[in-house]
Amino acid sequence: MKYYPVFLDIKDKKCVVVGGGEVAARKAERLLDCGAKVVVISPKLTPELAALKDKNLIFHITAEYSGDLIDKAALIVGATDDEKTNARISSDARGKGIPVNIVDDPQKCDFILPALVQRGDLAIAVGTGGKSPALARHLREELEATYGSEYEIFLNVLGTLRVKMEKNAGAGKEWFDSLMAAGILNLIKDKEIKKVREIVKKITGEEVEVELN
């Protein structure tokens, strides 16, 4: 395996996106989803990025890229359309010991970003080591069709049960298997919330709230 798979906590950490185009906008939005303090470096912004700026969701540095602008960042994403600028971003970030991703250029990256299926706190990542984004996208689409919103709801139930049943953690696999065998995912999908609560109570002895999306 070429890359070490990891989920990184970047909440409230400075994360820099260099570039003001559509790709930069997508990268900034994903970082915001994870709670990062996003800094965008670019003379101009797409309407999407400008809207984020207007809402004070990102900090915009209206300038061409320079190495001093990335100091103290937790990570850097280079999303410009200029190869020389991207090379400088990569070199500067590595020189400062900051993990860097240059979009569509794995050779200049310390990390690459997987295709992602997200259902609330459930994240399923697909990586191909940078060899085929098209295959990663294809697999992501298959996974999106398989794992619907019921998994987000079920995960929230499991999270509640984990807290309530912390003292009985050793029995976790047993009651999890019982919930799955009872068809709880299909019941959630069919919005049979009363039955879901009854099954959870019967199997675990705990009452839980079940919130539909």
Q: What is the pLDDT of residues 122-140, one digit of tens each?
A: 999 999 988 898 999 999 9
Q: What is the 3-state secondary structure (H, E, C) of 11-31?
A: CCCEEEEECCCHHHHHHHHHH
Give the distance from CA 102 to its chain's centroid.
Answer: 17
Whether the CB-CB separation of 19 and 42 falls below 8 Å is answered with: yes
Rounded to whole angstroms, the Cα distance separating 31 from 101 reads 13
Instruction: Name 51's Cβ contacts closer than 8 Å, sequence gap at least 6.
Output: none
Task: Give me the residue spans of the domains in the chain.
Answer: 14-113, 114-147, 149-204
Model pLDDT, residue 42: 98
Would you place residue 99 in the very low, low, confident or very high pLDDT band (cuts 50, 70, 90)? very high
As a whole-number percent, the residues of the chain with pLDDT over 70 amount to: 97
Tokens of 211: 């919130």
Query: What are 3-38's pLDDT values in tens digits?
Result: 898 999 999 999 999 999 999 999 999 999 999 999
Q: What is the pTM of this model?
A: 0.85
Q: Model confidence at 170, in pLDDT bands (50, 70, 90)?
A: low
Residue 3: predicted pLDDT = 87
For 16, phi and psi rounded to 5 degrees?
-105, 130
Residue 31, both tokens: 């970082």
pLDDT tens for 58-81 read 999 999 999 999 999 999 999 999
Which residue's entry shows tokens 């240059």? 102
- The helix or strand, by DSSP H or E, that contains position 152, with its residue range, turns out to be helix 149-164
CATH class of 14-113: alpha beta
Instruction: Find out if CATH 1.10.287 is the number for domain 114-147.
Output: no
Please compute the mean of the pLDDT values over residues 140-163 and round it to a whole number.
94
